[in-house]
Amino acid sequence: MLDYFCIFTKSGALLWALSLTTVKGEPVNALIRECLLEERTGDTTFSYTSPSGAAYNLKWALNNALGIVFVAVYQKALKLAYVDELLGKVNASFSPRYQPAKFSYADFEPTFKRLLRESEERADQRARSCKVRPCLQAAFQSERTDGDEDEADSKIRASDMATSQTDATDLTGQSEESEGHLSNGFDAALLSKRLAKRGGPGAKAAKRAELRDAPKPKGKAAAKPKVARTWNDPSGEPRVDAAALDFTEDKPSDVESETVADFSKLSLIDVAEEVVFDDVEEEATGASGAAKKPAATGFLSSLVRSMGVSVAGTSSLTREDIASARTALKTKLMERNVAEEIAEKVCESVAAGLEGRRLGSFTRVSTVVREAVEAALTRILTPKRSIDVLRGVREAKARRRGDRARGRPYTIVFVGVNGVGKSTNLAKVAYWLRQNGASVMIAACDTFRSGAVEQLKTHCARLGVPLFERGYEKDPAKVAAEAAKAAARAGTDVLLVDTAGRMQDNEPLMRALSNLISLNAPDLVLFVGEALVGNDAVDQLTKFNRRLADLSPGPNPHLIDGIVLTKFDTIDDKVGAALSMVYTSGAPIVFVGCGQTYVDLKRLHVKSIVAALLK
């Protein structure tokens, strides 16, 4: 049974609604916030769970020509087969009544109830016909005659006889072949090779015999016997100098003293970036009316040409008009390293937004397509949540001045898989924070990877920031808690927590990470990911968020707040990982790593990413 149905404009004006039963929560608002505004209109169903636990499914239809949205809400446990048909009928019936200046359509209720009743009756008829058809087939099979059964049995017996004759012929051929071998006598070399291949009791002896009979190479020196390493004298005194093997001593080296960070260089985060768009659409003719030679144009121009629609002021666009452009858009996104699943959803969303749209007079198709594609990608990449790290640091300092006993530093936890550059980009963030006047402490909570603490010691020596570490094989959650207390006592503004790299399927390490976040309640959890990944970006972010939610010991798990995209300088225009990560998690990209020095960290420029995707 349907619970709720509503009709509203894309600008947010409610035109008509009918509540058939009480709906808990705000499912329609969740649909608008998480699906329609997130460029996910290509999906067919949206699931919503209210705070009270009631689960609903929502389906919708778009009328792009009028800018109207039709939404049906029903319980998730029900499988209503008529919802899509009902949405189409309501769309066809309501559209002629719509007037842009009218916002009340109370007279539409009888029409809707009639359409709902017709859709339910037709769905019941289809369900009954599906139940009757298997019964008829069973009855038809039970009416087989005995003659048919005898005929089938005779066919089976004939096939069995033919099979037995074939097997006998094969056995005869094999026996004749074996007799031929026996008449010629045994070949010892051949038997030993076969034994070696088969394995078993005689395999090792055969291999030894083969090696013994093999000719030995000449002119090569005999191999020296392996000398066992002696670690201790018979007296018990170590022969190897322990100091020579100790690489963890705090010895200031000339390299470190020469490579102290130069804070006079401004971080790229605070440098304005200029974006140059080279995909400018060429006009077909010049000012004199003569045709120009087509220049090398970008992807959008070729996409427009592939649509096969070039007249101005045509009727509304159809799926057939958009099909070729949709395929070209998906191919281009995948070439830019966008995950296939994400590329398919984005293309379907763009197609759904273009279908039914009317082109006014003197309106070029290229303009409509360009606006639709760029608007869709811009909406996806634009952060829905503003993450201002410096403002958060200032607020934490103000709270600490007001209540020093309860004051704590602004805490950022860096998480991610192995080898993506968490420690390096953590050091870049520390450099940027120090440039902006914030005091920083780094907590070495990667107690698993060998050399992780020494790597952070090097960064801290160059940046002039304290390092809190407890060595290896310690509980990272407790190390982070002790670091937070030490930073609060020292009056430090920001605590940066480095964690061990872990794969998203490693449950013990993911449980430890979830425990660290739950115990310390950081202000920000940043996922560090490579810009080089494609389809794996979706899997990493999805499973990281799922594991943090499922393995959290508390009722309110802290999920990923933002993304740090590393190795951005190595991918040229293959920036699709940014689109895949943002679309999958909904978290914004806070920083982008673009080099090997401390200043090579910048903010994501949405327009530059869109330009690179459609270049």
Write the pLDDT tens digit of every residue in 414-443: 999 988 889 999 999 999 999 999 999 999
Domain boundary (321, 355, 381) is at 381
Tokens representing residue 316 in the block: 């509304």
**pLDDT tens digit sequence for 26-78:** 999 999 988 888 777 777 789 999 888 889 999 999 888 888 999 999 999 88
Residue 444: per-residue pLDDT: 94
The CATH number for 522's domain is 3.40.50.300
In a domain, 309, yes or no: yes
Residue of 377, 273, 334 whose CA lies nearest to 601 = 273
The whole-angstrom separation of Cα 420 and Cα 531 is 9
Whether the pLDDT of residue 195 is over 80: the answer is no
Q: Are residues 401 and 318 in the same domain?
A: no
Task: Report the domain count for the chain.
Answer: 3
In this structure, which long-range contacts are made by residues 541-546, counting pairs with CB atoms below 8 Å and at least 24 apart in sequence? Answer: 541/581, 541/584, 541/585, 541/587, 542/584, 542/585, 543/504, 543/505, 544/415, 544/504, 544/510, 545/585
Q: Are residues 439 and 535 in the same domain?
A: yes
In a domain, 152, yes or no: no
In a domain, 612, yes or no: no
Q: Are residues 444 and 328 in the same domain?
A: no
Which of 70-74, 299-303, 397-401 shows the lowest mean pLDDT across its residues? 299-303
Q: Are residues 415 and 370 in the same domain?
A: no
In a domain, 138, yes or no: no
| Spatial contact of 526 and 426, defined as CB atoms under 8 Å apart | no
The CATH number for 89's domain is 3.30.450.60
Whether the pLDDT of residue 270 is over 60: the answer is yes
Domain boundary (329, 350, 381) is at 381
| Spatial contact of 541 and 583, defined as CB atoms under 8 Å apart | no
In a domain, 175, yes or no: no
Consecutive H or E run containing 304: helix 299-306
Q: Are residues 584 and 551 in the same domain?
A: yes
> Model pTM greater than 0.95?
no
Q: Are residues 377 and 402 in the same domain?
A: no
In a domain, 190, yes or no: no
Q: Are residues 559 and 589 in the same domain?
A: yes
Q: By percentage, how much of the chain surpasses pLDDT 90? A: 28
Burial 589-603 (b: 16+ CB within 10 A, else e): bbbbbbeeebbbbbe
The CATH number for 371's domain is 1.20.120.140
Q: Are residues 512 and 591 in the same domain?
A: yes
Mean pLDDT of the chain: 77
Comparison of pLDDT for 510 and 615, the residue scoring more: 510
Q: Are residues 352 and 496 in the same domain?
A: no
Q: Are residues 361 and 440 in the same domain?
A: no
Residue 294: per-residue pLDDT: 44
In a domain, 106, yes or no: yes
Whether the pLDDT of residue 187 is over 60: the answer is no
Q: Which of the four pLDDT bands, split at 50, 70 and 90, describes residue 181?
A: very low
| Spatial contact of 426 and 449, defined as CB atoms under 8 Å apart | no
Q: Are residues 341 and 487 in the same domain?
A: no
Q: Which of the four pLDDT bands, split at 50, 70 and 90, describes residue 295?
A: very low
Residue 342: per-residue pLDDT: 86
| Spatial contact of 507 and 551, defined as CB atoms under 8 Å apart | yes
Task: Give the domain range for residue 435.
Answer: 389-607
Domain boundary (123, 157, 172) is at 123
In a domain, 146, yes or no: no
Residue of 483, 447, 485 whose CA lies nearest to 467 = 483
Q: Are residues 424 and 507 in the same domain?
A: yes
